[in-house]
Amino acid sequence: MSDNATLIAEPRDRVGKGVSRALRREGRTPAVIYGDNKEPVTISVETKELLKALNTGSFMSTVYTVQVGKTKHNVLPRDLQLHPVKDSPVHVDFLRVSAKSQIAVNVPVNFLNEDKCAGLVRGGVLNVVRHEVEMLVPAGNIPESIEIDLTKFDIGDSVHISDFDLPKGTEPTITDRDFTVATIAAPSGGAGDETEEEEVSEEEETTEES
C-alpha cells in the first residue's frame, strides 16, 4: 500500500465547534482517524488538498496515506460531511486499514460492447438498476470497476450479479439473492409494433384489391 496518495495532516489538540470553525477559517478541514483497535487521532487537513481528492470522483473508495508528523496512517474515508449551502467539506472520518483488511465500498459498473448487444441493436433500451454495487474487497486492492459484456443479452433479458466475472478476493455485500444490475427493455411501444403495423398494412392492401 506504499503507492497510496498522501494527505498531509496536522494534529488537533482541542476539539469542539469553536475550534472547528477557526480551522475552517484558516483553510483547514477537521478530521479524525479511528479503528484498528487504536485510539482515535484528531487531525486537520488542508481544505484545498482535500478538494483535489474529492474532485477525483473516487474519494470514498480510495485508500490514502495520511501523514501526521512522522507517523503515517493508511486510511479509507468513511464519512464526509458537507456544508449544506456552500457544499464544501466540513468534517471527514478516516478508518485505519491494512493491506489485508476487508472493507465494503461501492464499485462502479461498466457496461461493455453496447454497440454489439443483440437487444440494443434491435432497438432495446439499457435500463441500469445499479450504477454501483457495494462490494467486500481487500483494502489493498480496491477494483476501479466491475465489467459486464453485453454482447449476448437480448430484449427482455436481465443482467444479474452472477453474470459478472468479479475480481479475485471480492464479493457483493448482498449474498442472499442474485440481484439485478440492469435490464434490456423493449423499445417504447413494444418490440413487436413494427411487425404488427406491416401486417395491418398488408391486410388493408388485400381489402382494397378485393
Under the banding of pLDDT at 50, 70 and 90, the label for residue 205 is: very low
Domain of 24: which CATH number?
Answer: 2.40.240.10
Domain of 186: which CATH number?
Answer: 2.170.120.20
Q: Residues 25-38: what's their mean pLDDT? A: 92
The tens digit of pLDDT for each residue in 78-101 reads 999 998 888 889 999 999 998 778
DSSP 207: H
Name the domain count of the chain.
Answer: 2
Amino acid at 56: T
Distance (Å, rounded) from C-alpha 89 to C-alpha 108? 23
Range of the domain at 77: 5-97
Residue-level pLDDT at 207: 44
With contact defined as beta carbons under 8 Å apart, do 80 and 62 qualify? no
User: Do 93 and 111 lie in a common domain?
Assistant: no
With contact defined as beta carbons under 8 Å apart, do 204 and 132 qualify? no
Residue-level pLDDT at 154: 96
C-alpha cell at 11: 494534529
Picking from 97, 125, 154, the residue at the C-terminal end of a domain is 97
Residue-level pLDDT at 99: 75
Under the banding of pLDDT at 50, 70 and 90, the label for residue 141 is: confident
User: Do 25 and 87 lie in a common domain?
Assistant: yes
Report yes or no on whether pTM surpasses 0.85: no
Mean pLDDT estimate for the chain: 87
Query: Is residue 198 assigned to a domain?
Result: no
The residues pairing with 84 across neighbouring beta strands, listed in sequence order, are: none
Q: Residues 166-182: what's their mean pLDDT? A: 95
Q: Residues 160-184: what's their mean pLDDT? A: 96
